[in-house]
Amino acid sequence: MSKSACRDQRGFALVAVTLVMALLGVVVTELAFSMRLEAAMVKSYRDGLLARHLAEAGIQQAIREVINDSTVHGLDEDGQLVFYQVAQTGATPKALPKLPRAHVQFGAGEFSYRIPDEEGRLNLNQRQPGSLERMLTALEVEKQERDVIVDSIEDWRDPNDLARINGAESDYYLQQPVPYRPRNGNIQDVAELLQIKGITPAVYYGHNDKPGLVDLLTVRGRSAGVNINTAPKLILKALGLSDAEIGNIVQARAAKPYASPQDMTLYATRAQFTVNSATFRIESEGVISGEPRARLVAIVQRVVGGGGTQAPALVVFTWRSLPPKAKVKDAPAKQGSTKG
């Protein structure tokens, strides 16, 4: 064999080895990438599962707070729900011990929860005449939009198929891109409002630092009325109280909550108020490695046995997942601020 032929064979072998090594490198790189991707997916699934269990642990701890022998419910300076007990008529309400609600370490992560008072909201299924329109006015909703929303909610709830002047019945909803019919009964969930004519996402979720209907309305609760100790100013205004009266209520309940119906006789002549609640919203969040990974909301009602002699029971109306909130970085404290 000539020297030229040997050189050609050696060159071909070198090219072949180079191609094989390059192909092997691509295969190894692809395999490593696939393994890393699969490991990341498994970790994400595991963290999501752990976070959900943590959020559920938060709801269970909140239920421990709800099932107690409190007789009055109010708010602290941070707007957190406080459970009070009144030993006897005329006595000052005494706050019951509060379990930790924020950054509670548990296993591989932590949970936080809030207990907003569902009976501090306006109940759409038991509302007082004119209250919804006054609330929409306070939210600066235009009159034409208010009329459509109020009439459409009434049409959604009533059993007939006759639309009010500004409302809507089946003939309107069946013409939508995805046709459906009104419930013709009590609303089962606040999210149902998004299906009703006139209620836009801006009105429902709020905008320009204004709360939305989702923050102010409920469809659960007792028929007794609104808790005067926990109702926001917008709810008090919707119930027909003046700005001066609302200011007096907020100032008085900040010092100590109203302990009995006799303490609020002045306001109860125009609206039905209570000083305690039985229905609560629990919003819980599970956090893994500092990142919120799961959120749950539950609406529960505390039911006391006959004559108050039996241990309280709990009815769960809602238990569902919410999209996790994005992590918010702590802003630098302002100079001179006294808040922790």
CB proximity list for 157: less than 8 A, separation 6 or greater: 124, 125, 183, 184, 185, 186, 187
Supply the angle between the helices 131-138 and 143-157 in degrees, to the nearest 10: 140
Task: Report CA torsion sign: 302, 303, 307, 308.
Answer: negative
Angstrom distance (rounded) from CA 57 to CA 296: 10
Task: Quote the pLDDT of residue 43.
Answer: 81
* CA distances in angstroms from 74 to 81, 259, 264, 265, 303, listed in the order given: 6, 10, 14, 18, 19
Could you tell me how far CA 202 lies from the centroid of its own chain? 17
pLDDT per position as a tens digit, 137-176: 999 999 999 999 999 999 999 999 999 999 999 999 999 9
pTM of structure: 0.81
Residue 302 and residue 119 in contact, taking contact as beta carbons nearer than 8 Å:
no
Q: Both tokens of residue 165? A: 């002047």
The chain-wide mean pLDDT, for the chain, equals 86
Residue type, 340: G
**DSSP conformational letter for 117:** B
Tell me whether residue 90 is exposed, middle or buried, using C-beta atoms within 10 angstroms of its C-beta: 0 to 12, 13 to 18, 19 or more. Answer: exposed
Q: Which residue numbers in the chain have pLDDT < 50?
A: 327-340
CB proximity list for 193: less than 8 A, separation 6 or greater: 153, 187, 199, 204, 213, 214, 217
Residue 210 and residue 187 in contact, taking contact as beta carbons nearer than 8 Å:
no
For 88, other C-beta atoms within 10 Å of its C-beta total 5
Angstrom distance (rounded) from CA 11 to CA 262: 103
Residue 69 and residue 232 in contact, taking contact as beta carbons nearer than 8 Å:
no
Residue 270 and residue 241 in contact, taking contact as beta carbons nearer than 8 Å:
yes
Task: Report CA torsion sign: 258, 260, 261, 264.
Answer: negative
Angstrom distance (rounded) from CA 292 to CA 328: 10
Residue 196 and residue 156 in contact, taking contact as beta carbons nearer than 8 Å:
yes
- Edge-to-edge strands, sheet with 313-322: 104-106, 109-114, 279-288, 291-303, 313-322
Long-range contacts from 97-101, C-beta under 8 angstroms, 24+ separation? 98/65, 99/61, 99/64, 99/65, 101/62
Task: Quote the pLDDT of residue 21.
Answer: 81
